[in-house]
Structure 1
Amino acid sequence: MTTGRRPRVSIERRREQVLAAALREFSHKGFHGGSTVTIAEDVKFPHPNLFRVFSTKKGLFIAVLERTFATIEQEMLVRGEDADNDQLWAMANGWGALMGNREVMLILLQGYAACEDPDIRDLMHRWTQDVFKRAEALPGVDSDLAHDFFAAGMLYLVAASMDLPGRAGDDPWAERFLASGS
């Protein structure tokens, strides 16, 4: 006999589902444009219950940013710091791989765009500072080289947000743009 009820989902699993849906929503629509109703609908979760997992929309947006920072740390920063040689190049390769995930690139832009909120601004400041300092601390890297590395990363962040890597084969300008400086 079936009761018609869905099986219960653990709070940890529900949190992961909500974070994935929130990344999709916020990366494309931003903090103010993103809808918690849409996020709840995407994971088939009653909207009021969403706030049992994340108490506020801002808390959810910050959790998505923090999850993104953890991904970047693993894929770029740790990879570079653990490399045997040319650590900055290893970080650049990690960033290049991350550029393939357009939602990661977009959520970073959305985080910077939402910096009118002091909590989000402080979070983005701390993360940006951490990335810069960790690049700067690599052997053979000074402030100027760390600055150039970070600036190039931001340029490629913008390129990824425009989906230039996906257009490079069809758009000669995109191909030239992405090839400069490499």
Structure 2
Amino acid sequence: MSAAGRRPRVSIERRREQILAAALKEFSHKGLHGGSTVTIAKDVEISHPNLFRVFSTKKELFMAVLRQCFDTIARTMLAAGEAAESDHLQVMSDAWGVLMENRELMLILTQGYAACNDPDIRDLMQEWTQDMFERMEALPGVGTDKAHDFFAAGMLYLVAASMNLPERAPQDPWAQRFLDSGS
């Protein structure tokens, strides 16, 4: 191929971002075992072997997508709650509502819990869940019981977002009642 016909080189950091974005799309809908690294490579327009130069294994890629999800949740929800001067849980609840609009984020989190038969993924999910719970629990005026209730409600809304209920709610009275019941 002539120099004029080549695609411009992409930095490894940019390529990694592209792979993670394509992997989020693939794994959030199909899970660890159903997701295809061939599809991810095609979406990024790289060869399958080049994908594995960036991420050594499919599981490593899946776990990297989960870590990116965790970072997004921590940055968007938990950091906002920790920075709030009062009403920490309300601030986090509002942020979780925004996060729920990203259905793929909700689905990949669900897929992470579903893949817990793998000990490495189970450990990762347990570590993240523990960190989230303990950081919520440590917020002024929150404690164990309120953190538990908040986390439980968050998981309920995670399931609702996975079923796409927020989109259905305006036309579906059941979906609206389900979403409003925790308010």
TM-score range, shorter-chain basis? over 0.9
Q: Please, what is the CA RMSD of the aligned residues? A: 0.9
Distance 1:22 1:158 in 2: 21
Matched, 1:174 2:175: yes
Quote the residue 2:73 is aligned against. Answer: 72
Aligned length: 182
Quote the residue 2:36 is aligned against. Answer: 35
Distance 1:143 1:87 in 2: 14
Q: Normalising by structure 2, what TM-score?
A: 0.97
SS in 2 for 1:3: helix
Distance 1:106 1:4 in 2: 39
Quote the residue 1:16 is aligned against. Answer: 17
SS in 1 for 2:29: helix
Q: Which amino acid aligns with 2:79?
A: V
SS in 2 for 1:139: coil
SS in 2 for 1:85: coil
Distance 1:73 1:126 in 2: 13
**Per-residue Cα deviation, 1:77-121 (whole angstroms, up to 9, x for no partner):** 000000111111111111111000000000000000000111100
Structure 2 gap segments, 5+ residues each: none
**Per-residue Cα deviation, 1:97-147 (whole angstroms, up to 9, x for no partner):** 100000000000000000011110000000000111011111111211111
Matched, 1:100 2:121: no
Structure 1 gap segments, 5+ residues each: none
Quote the residue 1:118 is aligned against. Answer: 119
Q: Which amino acid aligns with 2:170?
A: G
Q: After superposition, where does 1:89-168 map in structure 2 within 5 Å? A: 89-168=90-169
Matched, 1:5 2:6: yes
**Structure 1 residue runs of 4+, over 4 Å off?**
none
Distance 2:182 2:115 in 1: 30
Distance 1:49 1:181 in 2: 46
Which stretch of structure 1 is more off in the superposition, 134-143 or 63-72? 134-143
CA positional deviation for 1:181? 2.1
> Once the two structures are aligned, what percentage of the paired residues are identical?
73
